Structure 1
């Protein structure tokens, strides 16, 4: 495994491990989560059902699973990056995009590099069956990462590592080769409840249990149709994803920077204003989000999310010029808006106490 670890580092991975294919003791928890409806409109999760806990059914012949994690904070961020993110969320003129989505689409980056690693292993040991995955199939990624020692499951349900926090992506290579298993690590959340306390919508309904239907990441990315009214105010200026449970986590003071330029923040996503992003028509949106994970939500959801953030801005004590600019921008789009967007614009304008 020493050589494989060296190759993994060469391709930009921070750590690798190897998990067993038997996840049968995770099936009950997965089924309970699905039965509770916590997957929301992510119907593919229910459709795949327990296949997520049965890797050998997903890829017949799988004997072991190589797991990998890749840090995604860009090298340019300073030690005060968490404070800067909190400050940005308090600025009503700003549009907050989740940290992981400000660079190149991680699906593309990890899949390519996992395949490179698989090719290198195959060149060394001979022909082997394999498939690579990263958040792209019914795979219990956190479960596999935890079992293979990449970290432990935090109370926010993400993988945590003592030396790297949680600001990393996960990926897997399913192999028909029995590699030596790596040992899990002990958990170190202790009595801390910072992530549960910080969640704006109380989506972490209990330690280690997330109700996706309440999660801002789900609402801004996966939710089709209107954002439930009861969660709109809590969204603040978050227009794509939410990092609160990670920003507040004490372990993320150890979050590491990525050496890969793929995750460098694209302008203006690291410092975007609501009005600037609202001005993007659909061709502009598609051009500016090319190669980005953001493109997958489409222009309609993008504008829906922005309308909510603009309504929350109008709720604040704003400079008169900014208030007028926000109202004018929303009102200008209203006549030609779809029914979905029109409803969110009307809601946004109604938030203005001076309207």
Structure 2
């Protein structure tokens, strides 16, 4: 393709991405600098990945797009805003309710993004065929070994903030990412400058001090890791700091000053379900496996399973300071899952201490 033809193709792709509901679009060459591989190596060697063994097992593929797919030449990075309409942290002041991360208050964003990526990839293949050009594509969300944040930064969507997440000039810290790898060599998007400056609000806001330095995260301390990825008992040293966060944590994202430029998410499937804005802990603790699956059908929360979720709920009950929840915790002490039973016993101890 000539440069003019490539430029027109990119413009058509950008228009199609917007029509599909994506809020940001950019292209970069399918290469990342050695600093990405070095950071990942140091992260794993320090044990900061915790039990996320897949990070250690597929480092070469994650560190470079060609490590995952040797034929890839360009990466199309897409962003979908999930910016909330209201204060994302408001539920933290309701100790008898659970706080669920904004990205998990409705439909599973993996499914939303992947479906749209496939539509855009099919559009690209069709346009290339019309230009008599061979084109292969692969689509990824965050379940694949892809360095999505460095690629999004290189493609001009934003920059990695001190909380290690992407920050966008337009969407702040509320941007979900997806990628299309293609064998086409497409003109890259000019880099857009931006930085966090001297701001350290995200570091200060982290309830467990998981951000150990600017752009340095120890996942083993992160509430999102502890409540979503970590299987087994949550270390007692972090339980009080978790508060009533029962799935994920938005504290470092919500305090980002760049959020003032973010409009409420356009995608209605990412707007919160009323029952997931401030769900009652007593109701959630009573869920059995069928009830859990029914309540969280289509939700990313379903991925962690009933036992891990109820474990989180019981930690929140222990932190509630509400003795009225003691019978709820006691009922779970005989739970068939030993991790749930242990969390229930801990919660009972916390609430009983208030009565002594």
When normalised by structure 2's length, the TM-score is 0.93
Query: Is 1:293 aligned to residue 300 of structure 2?
Result: yes
Measure how far apart 1:252 and its partner are: 1.1
Aligned pair partner of 1:115 in 114, 118, 141: 118
* 1-structure distance, mates of 2:24, 2:83: 15
Q: CA deviation at 1:202?
A: 0.3
In the TM superposition, residue 257 of structure 1 has moved relative to its aligned partner by 2.2
Report the equivalent of 1:207.
214
SS of 1:219's partner is helix
Give 1:57 shift: 2.3
What corresponds to 2:101 in structure 1?
98
Cα distance in 1 for residues equivalent to 2:43 and 2:193: 24
Contact 2:24 2:80 in 1 (8 A): yes
Structure 2: give runs of 5+ residues left out of the alignment.
1-9
Aligned partners of 2:236 and 2:255: how far apart in 1?
A: 26
Report the counterpart of residue 279 of structure 1 in structure 2.
286
1:37 Cα deviation from its structure 2 partner: 1.1
The CA deviation string for residues 124-183 of structure 1, in whole angstroms up to 9 with x for no partner, is 111521110010211000000011100011000011112210111000000000010112
Aligned: 1:28 with 2:42:
no
**What are the ranges of 5 or more consecutive residues in structure 1 without an aligned counterpart?**
none
Structure 1 CA distance, aligned partners of 2:27 and 2:335?
53
Report the RMSD for the aligned CA atoms in angstroms: 1.3
CA 1:199–1:336: 2 relative to 1, 3 Å: closer
Q: How does 1:108-187 map to 2 (within 5 A)?
A: 108-126=111-129, 127-187=134-194
Query: Which secondary structure does the structure 1 equivalent of 2:332 belong to?
Result: helix
1:39 paired to 2:49: yes
What does the per-residue CA deviation read over 1:223-252, in whole Å, with 9 as the maximum and x for residues that have no partner?
A: 010101100000000000000001111111
Q: How far did 1:11 drift?
A: 0.5
Distance in 1, matches of 2:312 and 2:90, equals 20
Q: How many angstroms does 1:4 deviate by?
A: 1.0
- Where 1:268 maps in the other structure, the secondary structure is helix
Aligned to 1:261: 268
The 3-state SS of whatever aligns with 2:49 is: coil
**Distance in 2 separating the partners of 1:280 and 1:345:** 14
| Residue among 311, 322, 344 paired with 2:318 | 311
Of residues 234, 238, 241, the one that matches 2:245 is: 238
CA contact (8 A) 1:30 1:50 kept: no
Residue 339 of structure 1 and its aligned partner are, at CA, apart by: 1.7
How far apart in 2 are the matches of 1:265 and 1:86? 13
* 1:354 equivalenced with 2:355 (yes/no): yes
Tell me if structure 2 keeps the 8 A contact 1:31–1:50: no
Q: Which residue of 2 aligns with 1:73?
A: 83
- Looking at structure 1, the residues matched to 342 and 334 of structure 2 have their Cα atoms a distance apart, in angstroms, of 12
Q: Shift of residue 256 of structure 1? A: 2.4
Cα distance in 2 between the residues matched to 1:48 and 1:312: 37
Aligned-pair CA distance for 1:185: 2.2
What residue is the counterpart of 1:89 in the other structure? 92
